[in-house]
C-alpha cells in the first residue's frame, strides 16, 4: 500500500471547517484513544490505510 506524503497531507488537511473535538466531556472515543496510543510508524500506517480506503470510496483508484 503506497501513499505519497502529498496525498496523506491532502487527506489530513481536507477538512472543510471547524476543529476535530470530542462532543462530550466524558471518555474520548475508543478508536481515537487506541490511535493515540500507537507509535509514530503505526499511526502513519493506519493513516495510509484510511487514505487508500477513502480514495477507493470516492473512485480515485487505489490499486496500491
For the stretch 14-62, pLDDT in tens is 766 666 665 666 665 688 888 889 999 999 999 888 888 888 887 765 4
The pTM score is: 0.44
> Which pLDDT does position 42 carry in this prediction?
93
DSSP collapsed to 3 states, the chain: CCCCHHHHHHHHCCCCCCCCCCCCCCCCCHHHHHHHHCCHHHHHHHHHHHHHHHHHHCCCCCCC
pLDDT for position 40: 92
pLDDT of residue 34: 87
The pLDDT assigned to 64 comes to: 46
DSSP state of 42: H
Amino acid at each position: 500500500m503506497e501513499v505519497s506524503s502529498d496525498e496523506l497531507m491532502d487527506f489530513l488537511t481536507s477538512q472543510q471547517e471547524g476543529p476535530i473535538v470530542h462532543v462530550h466531556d466524558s471518555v474520548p472515543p475508543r478508536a481515537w484513544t487506541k490511535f493515540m496510543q500507537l507509535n509514530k510508524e503505526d499511526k502513519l500506517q493506519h493513516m495510509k490505510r484510511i487514505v487508500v480506503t477513502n480514495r477507493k470510496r470516492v473512485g480515485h483508484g487505489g490499486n496500491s
